[in-house]
Structure 1
Amino acid sequence: MKIFVAVCLLAVFFGASNAAVTRFACERDTMSINCGNHKINVLCAAYGRSVSYSARCAGSAPSPSLSCLAQTSISKVNQLCDGKSSCSVIAKNNVFGDPCVGTYKYLEVTYECVL
């Protein structure tokens, strides 16, 4: 997970010519992205949990795992959002798979709006 975050940060820093936006959605919530007349360019996406954000979307019970990432994260968000003016993504195991059973997860997406 730490390697992914580092790679994601580098991609945002070096690849984003517009203002990058990072949004979060807790497990079972829906994330809506709207770029108006522009197109969504997904820079990074992660569904799971990072030890760096251990308090984010904590859920009702302690999470047994604090570092996990669904390998399908970026491909699923790209499929649903990249190149569109708006999209919605549900942060659920049946969309991304379950990278850490029994852990309350969240979706993190960094994107920019481009012409």
Structure 2
Amino acid sequence: MTTQGTRLPAGVVVIEGSECPPATLGLWKHYERKGPAYGIGAGYTVALSELPADGGSMTKNVSSWVNQTQSDAKLISSKGTRILEAGKSLKEPAEHNDTVERVEWVQG
């Protein structure tokens, strides 16, 4: 994935492959943790429009998630907010696939 010349938001790293780094919320464009991928550190609010992918952005383009943090993540879309609990992974169900626009965190 090319992000050369692109400044990523604070708390965001590029993930190469299908392994999510510790203390990170991993998100992949495709199912089975394939395609462009990023990791978001716990506590960082990120609009997925700020994450480039295949000539577009990750907005409404994420199908796989892994939450390697100790915090619950809020996956926010026009269909509502869903919670991805700490330590859990998610393969988007058809009705929610490619809908998430923003990630926030549950305040503990």
Classify the TM-score, shorter chain: 0.3 to 0.5
- Higher relative CO (Cα under 8 Å, sequence separation at least 6) belongs to 1
Q: Which structure would you say has the larger Rg?
A: 1
Normalized per residue, the structure richer in helix is 1
